[in-house]
Structure 1
Amino acid sequence: MLCGQCAAITVDQAGAPGHENLVSLGYVRSLPLAQRGVTHEAFTCGECGANWDYLRDRRNPASGWARCDRTMPAPKRSIDPPTVEAG
C-alpha cells in the first residue's frame, strides 16, 4: 500500500518532484541508457517501502518517476548453526 506522499507522485513526467521520504539507492548502470545520455536512479520510500525508478532523459518528456517491481521486501535469511550429533 502506498503512503499518501507516494500516491501523489506524478509518474512519467520529466521534472516531477518526489518527496522527502524517498531514499536514493544509487544509480543503476546500464550501457544502452548511458550511451543515450540517460541516467537511472533507484529509490525506496522510507515510510511505505515502495520502490521507484527515476529516469533523467532530456529527449523524452515522458521520463521521470516510475514504480518498479521491487515492491516486496527481500526475505530475511538466517543461517542456522550446524547440529552436532552426540555419539
Structure 2
Amino acid sequence: WGMFTGFLKYKLEEQGKKLVKVDKFFASSQICSVCGYRNAETRKLAVREWDCPQCGTHHDRDVNAAVNIRNEGMRLVVA
C-alpha cells in the first residue's frame, strides 16, 4: 500500500496535483452526507442501506461513504 500511495503521489505531483489522505478512522459510512447526522447503527457491516432519522434521506452505505470521503478530502484541501 505504501508503494502504491508513493507512486500515486509522485505521478500527481508531476501533473501539479496533490494527494490528500483522509484519516482511516473517519466515520464515512456513519455520517449522513446530506445533513451531517451521525448514525451509530451503521457501524455494523451488515447494514448496507439506511434512512437518516434527521432528514429522511435514504443511503446506500458505500455511495454515502464515497460522498463523505470526497467531501472530507475537499475540506482538507481548503483548510
- Tell me the TM-score normalized by structure 1: 0.21
Q: Give the number of the structure whose alpha-carbon radius of gyration is greater.
A: 1
Which structure carries more strand by proportion?
A: 1
- Tell me the TM-score normalized by structure 2: 0.23
